[in-house]
Structure 1
Amino acid sequence: MSDAIEFTVNRQQFAKTGLNEAAAPDAASLREGEVLLRVDRFALTANNISYAATGELLRYWEFFPAGEGMGIIPVWGFADVAASKCEGIDPGERVYGYFPMATHLVVIPGNVSSGSFIDASEHRASLAIIYNQYLRCAHDPLYTKATEALQMLLRPLFTTSFLLDDFLEDNDFFAAETVLLTSASSKTALGMAYLLHANRASRERDYEVVGLTSVGNRAFVEGLGCYDRVLCYDELESLDAARAAVVVDFAGDGELLAGVHDHYAQQLRCSCLVGASHWEKLGGATQPLTGPEPVMFFAPTQAEKRIGEWGAPDFQRKLAQVWGEFTVFVNGWMRIETHLGVSATEHVYQEVLAGRVRPDCGHIVSLWNT
Structure 2
Amino acid sequence: MNTTQFQVRKNPLSATRTVQRPQEPLSDGQVRVRIEQFAYTANNITYAAFGDAMNYWKFFPVPQGDGEGEWGLIPVWGFGVVTQTQCPAVAVGERLYGYWPMATDVVLQPARVSPEGFFDGAPHRAELHPVYNQYLRCATDPLYDAAQEPQQALLRPLFLTAWLIDDFLADNDFFGTCAHGHRGAMLLSSASSKTAYATAAQLAQRPEVEVIGLTSAANVAFCESLGVYSRVLTYEQLDTLAADTPCVYVDFAGNGELRKVIHSRFTALAYSCSIGGTHVDRLAGGRDLAGPRPVLFFAPAQAKKRHGDWGAAGFNERMARAWHAFVRQVDTPTAPWLVVQQHSGPEAVQAAHALVLGGRGDPRLGHMLSLA
TM-score (norm 1): 0.95
- Give the structure 2 partner of residue 12 of structure 1: 11
Q: CA deviation at 1:23?
A: 2.5
Distance 1:263 1:111 in 2: 50
The reply to whether residue 365 of structure 1 matches residue 337 of structure 2 is: no
For residue 350 of structure 1, what is the aligned residue in structure 2?
354
Give the 5 Å matches for 1:1-370.
2-25=1-24, 29-66=25-62, 67-68=67-68, 69-176=70-177, 177-198=184-205, 200-201=206-207, 206-265=208-267, 267-283=268-284, 288-332=288-332, 333=336, 334-368=338-372
Q: In the alignment, residue 40 of structure 1 is paired with which amino acid?
A: E
The number of equivalent residue pairs is 357
Asked if the contact 1:9–1:18 (Cα under 8 Å) also holds between the matched residues in 2, the reply is: yes
Shift of 1:357: 2.9
RMSD value, Cα: 1.1
SS in 1 for 2:33: strand
Aligned partners of 1:183 and 1:251 also within 8 Å: yes
Rounded Cα–Cα distance in structure 2 between residues aligned with 1:191 and 1:105: 30
Query: How far, CA to CA, are the matches of 2:2 and 2:30 in structure 1?
Result: 20
Paired amino acid for 1:187: K
By how many angstroms is 1:72 displaced? 0.5
Look up the equivalent residue of 1:76 and give its one-letter code.
W
- Encode CA deviations 1:305-342: one digit per residue, 9 max, x unaligned: 11111111111111111111111111132111111111
Measure the CA separation in 2 of the matches of 1:328 and 1:262: 39
Give the 3 Å change call, closer, same or farther, for CA 30–284 of structure 1 in structure 2: closer
Letter in 2 for 1:194: A
Counterpart CA distance in 1 for 2:99 and 2:312 is 19
Q: Which runs of 4+ in 1 moved over 3 A?
A: none
Identity level (%): 47
Structure 1, gaps ≥5 residues long: none
Please, what TM-score do these two structures have when normalized by structure 2?
0.94
Q: Is the 8 A contact 1:253 1:284 kept in 2?
A: no
Change in 2 beyond 3 A, CA 1:157/1:111: same
Amino acid in the other structure paired with 1:192: T
Q: Deviations over 1:40-98 (max 9, x none)?
A: 10000000000010011101000010133101100000000011111210000000000
CA distance in 1, matches of 2:221, 2:91: 49
Tell me if structure 1 keeps the 8 A contact 2:109–2:121. Answer: yes
What CA deviation, in whole Å up to 9, does each residue of 1:199-256 have, x standing for no partner?
x14xxxx121101000000011011110101000001111122121100000010000
Farther off after superposition, 288-297 or 16-25: 16-25
Q: Which amino acid aligns with 1:117?
A: F
Residues in 2 aligned to 1:162 and 1:233: alpha-carbon distance in whole angstroms: 25
The one-letter code of the counterpart of 1:184 is A
* Structure 1 residue 284, shift from structure 2 partner: 7.2
- 1:24: Cα distance to partner? 3.3
- State the 1:20 CA deviation: 2.1
User: For residue 353 of structure 1, what is the amino acid of its counterpart?
Assistant: L
